[in-house]
A and B are shown apart, each in its own frame.
Chain A
């Protein structure tokens, strides 16, 4: 069965994955409906990575490594990046674009791949 593999260390913050996902959902350029979001809230300290909402899990491709959380699990209140992920939980879950995985196809670095 195919699945997306996320490697936050390869992310360069180009956000193509986010736009490609949003485009697939809206057939227009917008990122609000995207199941994948680039976390870039901490610009000054250059901390960024990939957040992917799956049906049961929230995949956090952090620069220090991968973390997968069960959706519904309590989040550490002091973990700012986890707190920032909350809006992502309201999005639709990734459905792999019925096999097309547009996020992976547009990603230039292999930070998201379809395996």
Chain B
């Protein structure tokens, strides 16, 4: 099967058993991938309240912005089925691990973690890392799996405690989980999923597909967005220039996700000078800023910038949704690091009173994509402020594995381009309207 390895891993957490099913080629031809196939797998295993982690058709290829994995599960927060994009390197390693789709069903009676690699699935006990914060757990699990490049989805104390403010973290950083799927991990006693991919993915027309990808990258190089970097510039383009001013003295370096020309994440240092470019003995010099909305909320509250940045690290360690973290911080009226950390620990497992944040990157099934993200940054990027355009980026991205932020910012990929890439990459002929219809079914 082109662009996929053809394997679906199904893990029953109740007894640790697992099996590999063949990915139904007919379903791929009809649904393309990502969230659209996740839903089919969710329905098939619904009795086990599954968490489904999928990849898109173009994940781990040379298509611009093709970093995404997609997590699909029923939100403990809203009761709705949600699709959450997982960018960075997760999708790359998942697909190259040999498991295009992963179904995690049932609940374990003791803490577990999964180690997935080379078409091998290992269900391991996680008693030694249960109770540890995300950073400590990932450090320890990296040692256990013996691979520095393994990728992790992990929960912290918030998820273990069943907090509706919990999220799963990606490696050491905050994820786009705004729906408390971290709590679902905790309910399943699933501390972490570790994955590493070193496989190979075939393509229908190697030369044609590569050339089309290069053509798209060349178009990106002409975009003014390419000169922009980091969460602070997303905030600035949203009319929130205060964020850039607040953190500029801490910025170390920007970085992007796999396959994306837009380095939208900002690494800040506060435990050593941000101008230090060498690898030093300071093993935890700072943190990666991944959430412009939460950062803007915290900075606008008047809390000292260094305290804000340290709290971002603290929040990820605890495994809390950054928006919830920001709301706890702001509502507490506290200003110092010690006070804020205390209040977060105290309140993170209390009742949920957080309102739904407009414009998260994921999709809530039945409710749809109901707001623009970071409004009005879409218009500031020269894009279309029509909500339908953003929805289209979200649904097309979630089935193809292309980041919706990239799609909206660069405007080089639409349903016509996807149609051409599917033909070149998979040998599947789907028209533009058919592709939109698949997306609109989400």
Question: A13 to B279, Cβ gap below 8 A?
Answer: no
Complex alpha-carbon distance, A47 and B62, angstroms: 24
Question: A15 to B258, Cβ gap below 8 A?
Answer: yes
Question: B284 to A44, Cβ gap below 8 A?
Answer: yes
**B120-163: contact bitstring with A at CB < 8 Å (1 yes, 0 no)?**
00000000000000010001000000001100000000000000
> Which B residues touch A32, using CB under 8 A?
198, 200
> Which A residues touch B280, using CB under 8 A?
45
Task: Tell whether B288 is near chain A: CB-to-CB under 8 Å.
Answer: yes
- List B residues 55-71 near A (Cβ within 8 Å): 60-62
Question: B279 to A47, Cβ gap below 8 A?
Answer: yes
Instruction: Give the contacting residue for B259; candidates A19, A27, A30, A62; CB below 8 A.
Output: A19
- Which of B186-194, B249-257, B335-343 is found at the contact surface with chain A? B249-257
> Which A residues touch B257, using CB under 8 A?
14
Task: Tell whether A55 is near chain B: CB-to-CB under 8 Å.
Answer: no
**B274-291: contact bitstring with A at CB < 8 Å (1 yes, 0 no)?**
000111101111101000
Residue in chain A with minimal CB distance to B278: A64
Question: A105 to B284, Cβ gap below 8 A?
Answer: no
Complex alpha-carbon distance, A30 and B95, angstroms: 10
Question: B279 to A27, Cβ gap below 8 A?
Answer: no
Residue in chain A with minimal CB distance to B226: A108
In the assembled complex, the CB of A51 is this many whole angstroms from the nearest CB of chain B, namely 13
Question: B259 to A45, Cβ gap below 8 A?
Answer: no
- List A residues 41-82 near B (Cβ within 8 Å): 41-48, 62-64, 80-81
> Which B residues touch A62, using CB under 8 A?
277-278
> Which B residues touch A44, using CB under 8 A?
135, 139, 172, 283-284
Question: B279 to A81, Cβ gap below 8 A?
Answer: yes
Asked if A108 meets B220 with Cβ closer than 8 Å, knowing A16-B259, A46-B255, A80-B279, the reply is yes
> Which B residues touch A40, using CB under 8 A?
149
> Which B residues touch A109, using CB under 8 A?
226, 261, 263
Question: A108 to B217, Cβ gap below 8 A?
Answer: yes
> Which B residues touch A102, using CB under 8 A?
210
Question: A46 to B267, Cβ gap below 8 A?
Answer: yes
Residue in chain B with minimal CB distance to A46: B267
Task: Tell whether B429 is near chain A: CB-to-CB under 8 Å.
Answer: no
Task: Tell whether B387 is near chain A: CB-to-CB under 8 Å.
Answer: no
Task: Tell whether B206 is near chain A: CB-to-CB under 8 Å.
Answer: yes
Complex alpha-carbon distance, A13 and B135, angstroms: 21
Complex alpha-carbon distance, A40 and B147, angstroms: 12
> Which B residues touch A28, using CB under 8 A?
200-203, 206
**A5-25: contact bitstring with B at CB < 8 Å (1 yes, 0 no)?**
000010011111001100100
Question: B256 to A12, Cβ gap below 8 A?
Answer: yes
Complex alpha-carbon distance, A48 and B258, angstroms: 13
Task: Tell whether B171 is near chain A: CB-to-CB under 8 Å.
Answer: yes
Instruction: Give the contacting residue for A106; candidates B202, B203, B214, B258; CB below 8 A.
Output: B214
Asked if A45 meets B282 with Cβ closer than 8 Å, knowing A14-B261, A20-B62, A108-B221, the reply is yes
Complex alpha-carbon distance, A29 and B63, angstroms: 11
**A84-115: contact bitstring with B at CB < 8 Å (1 yes, 0 no)?**
10000000000000000010011011000000
Q: Which of B210, B279, B282 has the most CB of A within 10 A?
A: B279
Asked if A14 meets B253 with Cβ closer than 8 Å, knowing A28-B206, A108-B226, the reply is no
Apart from A15-B258, A27-B206, A64-B277: 20 A-B pairs, beta carbons within 8 A: A12-B261, A13-B255, A13-B256, A14-B257, A14-B258, A15-B89, A15-B259, A29-B61, A29-B62, A40-B149, A43-B171, A43-B172, A44-B283, A44-B284, A45-B283, A45-B286, A46-B267, A106-B217, A108-B217, A108-B221
Mark A residues whose CB is within 8 Å of B.
Answer: 9, 12-16, 19-20, 23, 26-32, 40-48, 62-64, 80-81, 84, 102, 105-106, 108-109
A-B contact pairs, 26 of them (CB 8 A): A12-B254, A12-B255, A12-B263, A14-B256, A14-B258, A14-B261, A15-B92, A20-B62, A23-B62, A29-B60, A29-B61, A29-B201, A29-B203, A30-B201, A31-B96, A40-B149, A41-B149, A44-B135, A45-B285, A45-B286, A46-B253, A46-B285, A47-B278, A63-B253, A105-B214, A106-B213
